[in-house]
Chain A
Amino acid sequence: NAGVTQTPKFRVLKTGQSMTLLCAQDMNHEYMYWYRQDPGMGLRLIHYSVGEGTTAKGEVPDGYNVSRLKKQNFLLGLESAAPSQTSVYFCASRPRGKDQPQHFGDGTRLSIL
C-alpha cells in the first residue's frame, strides 16, 4: 500500500546543476501536484497535472519544468538550480471530483549550495 512515493528523499546540489524529482502514485489518481514548503510560508503550488500528458502552471512555476508521460508518474525538473530553490518539495495526488482529498508523499529535502 505505497500511496504516493517521492524519490529521492534528500539531495544536495551545486548552483547551476540540474536534477529531476520523481513522484509515483499507485492509486490511479487523475490529478497530481508539486508543492514547495518553505519556513513560515506554508505550501505553494509549483505545477500540476489533470491527467496523463497534461501540465499546468501553479503559483510559483519559474525555474521548474514538469512532465506527465505516464498517469502514475509526475516529474519535476530543475534545469539550472539556484539557492532560492532550496526547499522541501511535496508531491500530491487525488481522484477526479471536487471533494476528493489530496494524498501527499513524504517530501524531498533539496539544498542548493
Chain B
Amino acid sequence: KQEVTQIPAALSVPEGENLVLNCSFTDSAIYNLQWFRQDPGKGLTSLLLIQSSQREQTSGRLNASLDKSSGRSTLYIAASQPGDSATYLCAVRTTGRRALTFGSGTRLQVQP
C-alpha cells in the first residue's frame, strides 16, 4: 500500500528566505507526483505535476524535483513571500491506480 509522508509538518521562515519542502513515498511504481497548495478554508490548487519520466518541473519561483528510485520529491520555493503562506500537499498516483494518495501536508508560514 502506498504511503506518502511529508516532513516537516509545519515550517516558519522569514520573508525572502529560500526553502525546501520534502515528500517521500514508499512505492516507486508511480505515474506521476503532484504538488498542491491549500489556503485555509479553501480547496486544493495544483502547483506542479511531475511525470515519472521527469526529474523536475518549474513554475515561476517554484521548482519540484523527483527521485523515483529513492521515493523522494522536494518542492523548492525561492525568495519566499508572505503570500506563500499556506499548506502544501504532495500526492502520488501509483501505477494501476486511478486516484491519488496524499501526504498530510506541510503548513508554511512566511513572516513579513
Chain A interface residues toward B at CB < 8 A: 4, 31, 33, 35, 40-45, 48, 50, 56, 58, 90, 92, 98-99, 101-107
Contacts and interface: CB of A to CB of B under 8 A. Distances in A.
Interface string B8-32: 0100000000000000000000011
Bin chain B's interface residue count: 20 to 34
Contacts of A40: 9, 104
A56 B99 CA distance: 11
B43 interface: yes
Nearest 10 A-B pairs (CB), nearest first? A42-B102, A104-B43, A42-B104, A104-B44, A106-B43, A43-B102, A101-B46, A98-B31, A45-B99, A101-B49
Contacts of A104: 36, 43-45
Contacts of A50: 98
Nearest to A100: B49
Contacts of A56: 98
